[in-house]
Amino acid sequence: MERICAVNELIREDAEGFQEEWLRCRRAEQEKSIRSDRRELEQAKKRLGDLDVLISRLYEDYVLGNLRAERYKKMSADYEAEQEQLKAKVAESEDWLQKQQDMSNGINSFLALTKKYVDVEELTQTIVNEYIKQIVVYTPDKSSGHRQQKIKIIFNFVGNVELGDVSEPVTYERTLKMQKTA
């Protein structure tokens, strides 16, 4: 509840600033990766085309008697295995690039969500489901005599909000004495 209210407050104070900062953080991290992945995707597609040509020529050489049967089978199997790997890689890369595009569009959905729930007084299952994608609960630390447990909240559409005080994982403390009586 505190985390949702803090993010809502942050966005209400400066929605455009939040959007710019979020996009800057995400884009700075991902633009390089996206360019690299697009380059690899284009290379993989080009190689797939080259493999089709190679397999055709290999077959022609085999039919014309320029290539022995064992050699043809080995080379053909190698090319076809590489082709299957590249097809899987292309599909995975295209899917990943689409997810990156969807993530850029997600900030608008998240801003609309914060406008929908302006003053959250009580946390309901609907609000949690709409706001939160994942909650990561870390193992408790009891070294100081107090039980401290970090919780990281991953929001829908925008992931982990990494701005100011909101970026720190939430830490809950409870003394061991209180824990034993509970």
Q: pLDDT, tens digit, for every residue of 95-149? A: 877 776 666 666 667 777 777 776 777 878 887 888 788 888 888 888 888 888 8
Compute the distance between CA of residue 134 and CA of residue 131 in angstroms, rounded to an integer: 9
The reported pLDDT for the residue numbered 76 is: 92
The phi, psi pair for 124, rounded to 5°, reads -110, 165
**Domain locations in the chain as residue ranges:** 2-181
Give the pLDDT band of residue 80 (cuts 50, 70, 90). Answer: very high
The residue that leads in pLDDT, 171 or 146, is: 146
| Confidence (pLDDT) at 23 | 65
What's the pLDDT score for residue 27?
A: 62
Count of C-beta atoms within a 10 Å radius of residue 175: 12
Could you identify the residue written with the tokens 């790997």?
85
Interval 48-59 mean pLDDT: 92
**Averaged pLDDT score across all residues of the chain:** 76
pLDDT of 178: 47
Res. 74 pLDDT band, cuts 50 70 90: very high
pLDDT attached to residue 109: 74
How far apart, in Å, are the Cα atoms of 75 and each of 85, 110, 149?
A: 15, 52, 57
Residue 113 phi, psi dihedral angles, 5° rounding: -65, -40
Give CA–CA dist 119/12, Å, rounded. 11
Q: Evaluate whether 153 touches 170 at the Cβ level (below 8 Å).
A: yes
DSSP 61-117: HHHTTSS-HHHHHHHHHHHHHHHHHHHHHHHHHHHHHHHHHHHHHHHHHHHHHHHHS
Only one residue has tokens 């401290």, namely 148
